[in-house]
Amino acid sequence: MWNKVGASASRHWRRTLALSLATLACLGVTAHMAGPNEAAARPAYPVADPDPFYRAPEDLDRYSPGDVVRFRPTDASIYAGASGWNIAFRSTNSHGEPILAVTTLLLPPGARAGIPVLSYQPIVNALGARCAPSRALFNLEQAEAPGYLLPLDRGWALNLPDHTGQHGAYGAGPLAGMITLDSIRALRQLPELGLTDSRVGLAGYSGGGMATAWAAAMAGEYAPDLDIAGAVQGGVPADLEAMAEIIGQQHHPGFGLAFAAAIGLEREYPDRFEMEKELNHHGLWLRDFLSNECRRSILFHGAFRSANDLTNSPDWFHSEAARSVMRENSLVHFDGIPTMPVHMWHGRLDPLTPYEPVAQVARRYCDAGATLHFVTHEVAEHMIPAAAGFVEALDYLDARFRGVPAPTSCR
């Protein structure tokens, strides 16, 4: 059954943000602006989830960001006996328009009121509705699921937002940041969960690190009402243009993820990122085929392709319209500064998410006076730091929850 909940007290929606970024990989394909005689592009949107729980109400614009629209219990006992909740709430897309978003909350057995909340933004290398965390948690599509037992074992509540939105806008970073922040607002609106006064931390790696990093950088402007204890973000894709040069231009084993990110940005920016106009018949077929697929299928069917195989124009990569979308979705170009302590880690030899843009972001945070602890894994690529840095990241948040002053590597 559903529970309809009304809007509550003050909300802070400051400005329209036209921004967004990628997960394990990045963009491979781009587009051009439509001329007056050209038909509008038609993004390959996913098939909508048939469950009416995911359907936006007609009066969604009357809700404020983070307002709960409906919620329900869900069986999460496979996570060491946890109890679970699905929460649908109002958030905002990259054009300042209201959208319905969903998060899943896991509570450890015997949870008491006021326990810490870890908002963990999962890696979502996918495009279909069944691949979103609220579904993937229970259908074997969520690769990180075993790791969720660690924060639950610490006695923390676990918030897992569907941060790519219901259009599956994989690669849209600020969209993910706003959905993440609004999911935390939604938890606080439900006193029956016992989390109204809980301390909250943000965490994520790779694409989840992207969502976390954007949420941390946007919080001061988009959600100043939230007091976030700290954020831990690893393997963050900070520069889409640099990543597209690495993955999109060559026959790469991870090209499927790059192409999926392009599909996701086309969904979020249909008027500017008009990829359909650039694709040849092979590219159109692959785009439509992958539009409802999850990680394994995207990796398999996209492996060792390249953008040049799928596009008509040799100048596909140099479209200023598409480049501007990539820059708007690149943390390295965003001037927001985290207002909470941040722990960030990255492999220096990462072949997917280049190290230097992340180091550039770290330098900017330090120069602006942020409390940043930046750890470089010297002889490591993308996956080794994911495992090597996870426990350290949780320990960092545990100290923030206990009120221990945060360390800094800024000089």
213-258 pLDDT per residue, tens:
999 999 999 999 999 999 999 999 999 988 888 776 778 888 898 8
152-187 pLDDT per residue, tens:
999 999 999 999 999 999 999 999 999 999 999 999
The residue count of the chain comes to 411
CA distance 5 to 99: 17
Q: How confident is the model at residue 21 (pLDDT cuts 50, 70, 90)?
A: very low
201-223 pLDDT per residue, tens:
999 999 999 999 999 999 999 99
Q: Which pLDDT belongs to residue 377?
A: 96
Q: What pTM does this model have? A: 0.89
**Burial status of residue 248 (CB atoms within 10 A of its CB: 0-12, 13-18, 19 or more):** buried
Fill in the DSSP letter of residue 252: B
| CATH class given for the domain over 3-239+327-401 | alpha beta
Q: Which pLDDT belongs to residue 23?
A: 31
Segments making up each domain of the chain, as ranges? 3-239+327-401
Q: Would you say residue 125 has pLDDT above 60?
A: yes
**Which of 7-11, 55-59, 90-94 shows the lowest mean pLDDT across its residues?**
7-11
**Could you give the C-alpha distances from 90 to 55, 61, 68, 112, 188, in angstroms and in order?**
11, 8, 7, 27, 14
Q: Which amino acid is located at 299 in the chain?
A: L
SS3 content of the chain, % helix, strand, coil (to 5): 35, 15, 45
* Strands (E) located in 139-219: 157-161, 200-205
319-358 pLDDT per residue, tens:
788 899 999 999 999 999 999 999 999 999 998 899 999 9
Structure tokens at 340: 């909470």
Residue 333 and residue 302 in contact, taking contact as beta carbons nearer than 8 Å: no
